[in-house]
Each structure stands twice: as structure tokens, then as C-alpha cells.
């Protein structure tokens, strides 16, 4: 299973760029988004940039991906201890 996560363009060389996700840097084809510049946020699938993102989209997606991989036994720092979930 592949999950596309936002990545930031850190270098551009012709039709290939390097993108950073967390501490990982990968190369990606810019065939579908040829006008990228360093600092752009993108989605990469199978080694190809498939979409450019704005800052807000990148932040929302980064948070969503973080939730997917969060430890369910760790408390969420964004939720106050007094909040109660739905009753079942």
C-alpha cells in the first residue's frame, strides 16, 4: 500500500527534482508539473510529482498522515484531557 504524503522540493535539475519528506530525500520526475521551484510543496506517486500543493493543503495533509501513523496509546497533545469522546 502506498500513501502519498506532502513533500517539499529541495532541488531542481532539468525535469527531475529532489523532494524531502521528513528526513528522507528522494528524486522525482517533474513530467506532469514542469514548472516547480525549490520550496514548492508537492505530492509524489511512484517517483513522479503528480500535483503541486499550496501551503494550507500541505499542512492539512501532513497532519492527516501524522494521525495515520500516530501511536494510539499516546495522548493527542491537541486534545484537552477534559474532552470526552462520543458515547457508544
Question: What is the CATH topology of the domain spanning 6-68?
Answer: SH3 type barrels. (2.30.30)
Which residues sit opposite 17 in a β-bridge?
Answer: 12, 28
pLDDT given for residue 77 in this prediction: 62
Looking at the whole model, is its pTM more than 0.85? no
Contact status, residue 6 vs residue 53, Cβ threshold 8 Å: yes
- C-alpha cell belonging to residue 34: 514542469
Could you give the CA distance from residue 46 to residue 29 in angstroms, rounded to a whole number?
Answer: 9
Tell me the domain boundaries of the chain: 6-68
**8-67 pLDDT per residue, tens:** 999 999 999 999 988 899 999 999 999 999 999 999 999 999 999 999 999 998 888 888
Amino acid at each position: 500500500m502506498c500513501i502519498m504524503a506532502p513533500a517539499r522540493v529541495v532541488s531542481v535539475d532539468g525535469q527531475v527534482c529532489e523532494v524531502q519528506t521528513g528526513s528522507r530525500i528522494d528524486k522525482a520526475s517533474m513530467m506532469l508539473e514542469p514548472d516547480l521551484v525549490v520550496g514548492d510543496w508537492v505530492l509524489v506517486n511512484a517517483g513522479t510529482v503528480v500535483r503541486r500543493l499550496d501551503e494550507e493543503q500541505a499542512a492539512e495533509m501532513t497532519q492527516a498522515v501524522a494521525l495515520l501513523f500516530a501511536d494510539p496509546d499516546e495522548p493527542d497533545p491537541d486534545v484537552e484531557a477534559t474532552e470526552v469522546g462520543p458515547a457508544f
